[in-house]
Structure 1
C-alpha cells in the first residue's frame, strides 16, 4: 500500500490544534500515513473582526511571534523543521504553560540548535508575505469560517479532501487514533458532506 501524505496547518498557540497534531503523530504509528506540518495564523484569520472578546484579542496579539518564527525557520531550513519546531513550541505553551515571549523563543531555538537571531522574526514583518501565503494555501479549500487545525489529504481519485478538525480531547492513542482517522476520511471524503458537530463540554486535555 502506498503511503499517504497528509498536510496539517497549525498555529502553535491553539490548544485544539495541538491535540490534533499529537493525534496525527499517533496515526502515523498505526496507519501508512506521513504528516507534513504547515503554518497558518489565527492572527491573520481574525484580522478586521471587531466582535472578538478582549481576552481573545490579547491572545491574537501575542500569537504573531510563534508563527513568524516558524515561517522564518521554514524559509531558511525547509518544511521538515516545522515538525520539531511545533513540538518544541507546543510542549512549552500547552504543557509547561510558558508565556509567549522572548524566554519561550530562546528555549525553543536552543532545544533545536537553531540560531538565536531567528527570534528577531517575532517582532518583524519580514516574513509576513510567506506567512500569509502558507495560511491561505491551508484555508482556501475549507473556507475562512473555521480556524485551526486544517488538514488536507489526497482522495482515492486524486481529488483534494480538505477539512477543519477533528476537534477532540483527550488525544486518541494507538488503534483508537487509527479508527478516528478512518472515520474522519470516510465522512470528509463524502461528496456534499460539510458538518458534524456537538457542543464541547470538556476543556483541552493534553495527556
Structure 2
C-alpha cells in the first residue's frame, strides 16, 4: 500500500537517527531516564513468554542504556523456531 510509504520512511529515519545508520532490523526504541534510545535487535531463536520474556527485555534495556555498550553477537545455533516457545 503506497499510501504508507511516507509514514514508513519517516519512522525509519527517526529510529535510525537514534540507533545509527549501520544497523539492520529489527530496531526497538525505548526511553530510560528521560533519554530516548534505539538499538538493533534482539534476535532470538524462538518466542519467549511470561517471566522469561520480561527478564530478557529488562536485560536488553539495561545493556542498551549504557553509553559505553555497543554490540553483542554470537553464531546462530539453528534456524528460527517459528510458532514455538523456547
Give the TM-score, by structure 2 length: 0.83
Q: Supply the distance in 1 between the matched residues of 2:64 and 2:4 (Cα, whole angstroms).
A: 33
Query: Larger % of helix: which?
Result: 1
User: What's the offset of the Cα at 1:167?
Assistant: 0.5
Counterpart position of 1:171:
47
Corresponding position: 1:134 with 2:11: yes
What runs of 5+ residues in structure 1 fail to find an aligned partner?
A: 1-120
Contact 2:27–2:41 under 8 Å retained in 1: yes
Shift of 1:127: 4.0
The higher radius of gyration belongs to: 1
* C-alpha distance in 2 between matches for 1:144 and 1:176: 30
Q: Which has the higher strand share?
A: 2
The match for 1:205 among 66, 81, 84 is 81
Correspondence 1:173-188 to 2 at 5 A: 173-188=49-64
CA shift for structure 1 position 181: 1.1
Q: How does 1:9-158 map to 2 (within 5 A)?
A: 121=1, 124=2, 126-156=3-33, 158=34
**Higher relative contact order (Cα pairs below 8 Å, separated by 6+ residues):** 1
Aligned to 1:107: none
Q: How many residues align?
A: 83
> What RMSD in Å do the two structures reach over aligned CA positions?
1.5
2:67 corresponds to which residue?
A: 191
